[in-house]
Amino acid sequence: MTSPNMLRAAVIQVNAGPEIEPNLVQAGALIRRAVADGAQLVCLPENVSLMAQGREKILARVKPEASHPGVPFFRDLARETGTWIMTGTLGCLLDDGRVANRAFVVAPNGDIVARYDKIHMFDVDLAGGESYRESATYRPGERAVVVPTPWGGLGLSICYDVRFAYLFRALAKAGAGLITVPAAFTVPTGRAHWHVLLRARAIETGCFVLAPAQTGLHDGGRGTYGHSLIISPWGEVLADAGEGVGHVIADLDLNKVAEARRMVPSLVHDRSFEGP
């Protein structure tokens, strides 16, 4: 019987390529391993089904949600394993020709209980010549999402969202005690900011943060940082997957959410103020 106060959670770390089917096979094998280790909630990275470089290559491979092979795949896997799955993100083709970077939460009976489209677009030029323009291909989401689970509210975010603290605060105030951050962080920004940003978001909200990530080299030579993390509401790193493909697990005591918020009750100390 599921305890509302204890959760064994897993974050999966993958190295996805430019073809959907092999990526799903990789993800499925890793989910089954995590479930064999007792995971009750399994979280996967951003772009779990497709890491392709360039707008044309992405648009040639993505599918509408209704025909995306990843949707029934994860629904069937949730039913097979009896596990909650946060799918990471699937690129879902939209009617306007753009793509939604969309995360799903699937219950153990296979029902999709939540969808979240990434709100903040990664449009940056990095030192060393790397350049990213997500808004050229993807349509940003417009709605924050907290989904009820047996362990309380699960807030959804995706990768670049982690730099926007107000989103995480809104999720916590809407009832989230757990927040997922599926990501495909670049190596330079990962080395500089990944751990500190995720720890800060956990501390600010008093939430457990589950951050599954891509790792290694991908199509077009893009590199991702890895280091999938599970972080406590006090900012402690409970699990770090390093740089390899695989999974890590942590046992989460959900009582720690209320405990952290009692010790630093900043969520109830908001004040209105005039801008500078």
Catalytic residue list: 46, 118, 159
User: 48 with 103: CB under 8 angstroms?
Assistant: no
Spatial distance between the Cα atoms of 150 and 272, rounded to a whole number of angstroms: 34
* Other C-beta atoms lying within 10 Å of the C-beta of residue 242: 11
Q: In this structure, are residues 114 and 43 in contact, taking their beta carbons and an 8 Å threshold?
A: no
**Over the chain, what HEC string results?**
CCCCCEEEEEEEEECCCCCHHHHHHHHHHHHHHHHHCCCCEEECCCCCCCCCCCHHHHHHHCECHHHCCHHHHHHHHHHHHCCEEEEEEEEEECCCCCEEEEEEEECCCCCEEEEEECCCCCEEECCCCCEEEHHHCECCCCCCCEEEECCEEEEECCHHHHHCHHHHHHHHHCCEEEEECCECCEHHHHHHHHHHHHHHHHHHHCCEEEECEEEEECHHHCEEECCCEEECCCCCEEEECCCCCEEEEEEEECHHHHHHHHHCCHHHCCCCCCCC
Distance, in Å, from the CA atom of 244 to the CA atom of 222, rounded to the nearest integer, reads 16
C-beta separation of 103 from 156 below 8 A: yes
